[in-house]
Amino acid sequence: MTYQHITVKPLAGAIGAEIFDVDLSQPLAPTVLDEIHRAHLEYLVIVFRDQDLTPDSQKAFARNFGSAHINDFFPTVEGHPDVQLVAKNPEDTRNVGDVWHTDVSYVRKPPLGSMLYALEVPEAGGDTMFASTYAAYETLSDGMKELLEGLNAVHSATQSFGVNATGPEMKAKNKSMAFKYTQDAEQDAVHPVVRIHPESGRKSLYVNRSFTKHFEGMTVEESKPLLHYLYDHMARPEFTCRVRWSKGTLTFWDNRCAHHNALNDYQGQRRIMHRVTVLDDLRESHADAAD
Ligand code: SIN
């Protein structure tokens, strides 16, 4: 694919690219936005360096792709209920998202993607790993693809945001990220294990360690061996890229075909990010309008 209005430098073989020559704090021309959209579809994770964004300008950029998801569990930036604060301070031992996962897969209509903006980062460490779930699906044997084709999986927020995850023990490990407990932590959503991307039409694997509980119609114990095989397969190094953050980096990933893991290797240091999670509603409303 060629790009005329932005510069695109791939980060790895299967996933990820850095995008240059764009100032996200300014309104973007439709031609530029169109190329950013194409790069997002092609690389699944796109990284913009040296941006100077406020919560309002981050949201304004996000609105080009969909409206912002309001997360029931995360602390938010004051005055911005749709901007989540992803923080780890020197006294915290736990961080957010240090298990391979896809954001918010526990709701019926999971979001399109997430935009994470770095305000403060450790001197070293705190990178985020991303992996292509297209690559994970496409490298399975035909037999395994056939087996998975008819399966659904149950996803739930309980493990990450239920009573055990929001209780005093966890709060002591990460005082900065006191997740809120709400009844929604007990909600379940069912999704096909092989998910078709609504824009590219490609198939990907849609299960993850944080939120998938079991295959529909099977117990947790029965599901475990196959789910664990899939989780290990999905994290194969050749499906991944690694984003090294610096202040002003904004990374926009596609939750429909990528999963991620935030490395917790910076004890005693601070890492502060703002996350806007983008719903898949803009494309849907365009499609409705065309009907
Ligand atoms: C997340 O899982 O959304 C947070 C990722 C990160 O902090 O790198």
- The catalytic residue positions are 101, 103, 260, 275
27-35 CB contacts, 8 Å cutoff, 24+ apart: 27/60, 28/61, 28/64, 29/5, 31/4, 31/5, 32/5, 32/6, 33/64, 35/3, 35/4, 35/5, 35/6
User: If 0-12 CB within 10 Å is exposed, 13-18 middle and 19+ buried, where does residue 190 land?
Assistant: exposed
Tell whether ligand 1 has an atom less than 6 A from the beta carbon of residue 177: no
Q: Which atom of ligand 1 is nearest to the CA of 262?
A: 8
Measured in Å, residue 262 CA sits from the centre of ligand 1 at 5
Q: Which of 89, 127, 128, 273 to mutate to test the pocket of ligand 1 (most atoms within 8 A of CB)?
A: 128
Tell whether ligand 1 has an atom less than 6 A from the beta carbon of residue 118: no
Q: What is the pLDDT of residue 169?
A: 56
Q: What is the pLDDT of residue 114?
A: 97
* Higher-scoring residue by pLDDT: 175, 11: 11
DSSP string, 147-211: HHHT-EEEEESHHHHSHHHHSHHHHHH-GGG-PPP-GGGG-EEEEESEEE-TTT--EEE---TTT
**59 Cβ neighbours under 8 A, 6+ residues apart:** 68, 80, 82, 83, 276
Measured in Å, residue 199 CA sits from the centre of ligand 1 at 24
pLDDT, tens only, 29-68: 999 999 999 999 999 999 999 999 999 999 999 999 999 9
Percent of all residues in the chain with a pLDDT value above 70, rounded to a whole number: 88
Architecture of domain 7-290: 4-Layer Sandwich (3.60)
For the entire predicted model, the pTM comes to 0.93
Tell whether ligand 1 has an atom less than 6 A from the beta carbon of residue 256: no
CA-nearest residue for atom 7, ligand 1, is: 262
